[in-house]
Amino acid sequence: EADIYQTPRYLVIGTGKKITLECSQTMGHDKMYWYQQDPGMELHLIHYSYGVNSTEKGDLSSESTVSRIRTEHFPLTLESARPSHTSQYLCASSDYGGNRPYEQYFGPGTRLTVT
């Protein structure tokens, strides 16, 4: 059973604020990912990590930053939120050595609204 958690689930915040979206997984997966999704659109990869102290930018340019100092934790930070950051943010993880290495397990998402 996949156990990956995201907090907060919903966030409404004013322009210019700094925010951190939390993502934790209890499966010991090495790989973790952040996606951004707008309604009716595809998921876009914005960050990924192969393991502790490893972070890479994804295919969609993002002003957010990530860190990976513990295997289970992969937070995403926006230093100064803007209305263009309004979107749903989905965190996922995968097990490189597992039976289904391409399968990513997703958290419930954080719906961010910047006013």
Partner 1 sequence: DQQVKQNSPSLSVQEGRISILNCDYTNSMFDYFLWYKKYPAEGPTFLISISSIKDKNEDGRFTVFLNKSAKHLSLHIVPSQPGDSAVYFCAASPEGGAQKLVFGQGTRLTINP
Find out whether 47 and 34 touch, Cβ atoms under 8 Å.
yes
Q: What distance in Å separates the CA atoms of residue 35 and residue 43, rounded to the nearest whole number?
A: 6
Q: What distance in Å separates the CA atoms of residue 19 and residue 1, rounded to the nearest whole number?
A: 30
Q: State in angstroms the smallest separation of the CB of 106 from partner 1.
A: 3
- Nearest CA to 7 among 23, 26, 19, 28? 23
Which of these ranges, 13-21, 63-71, 75-83, 88-96, lies near partner 1 under the rule CB under 8 A? 88-96
Binding of residue 61 to partner 1 (CB under 8 A): no
Binding of residue 48 to partner 1 (CB under 8 A): yes
For partner 1, the binding residues in 16-35 under the rule CB under 8 A are: 31, 33, 35
C-alpha 58: how far from chain center: 11
Which of these ranges, 12-20, 60-68, 75-83, 105-113, lies near partner 1 under the rule CB under 8 A? 105-113
Task: Between 16 and 108, name the residue whose CB sits nearer to partner 1.
Answer: 108
- Beta pairing class for 54-57 and 65-66: unpaired
Positions touching partner 1 (CB under 8 A) are 4, 6, 9, 31, 33, 35, 40-45, 48, 58-59, 90, 92, 94, 96, 100-109, 111
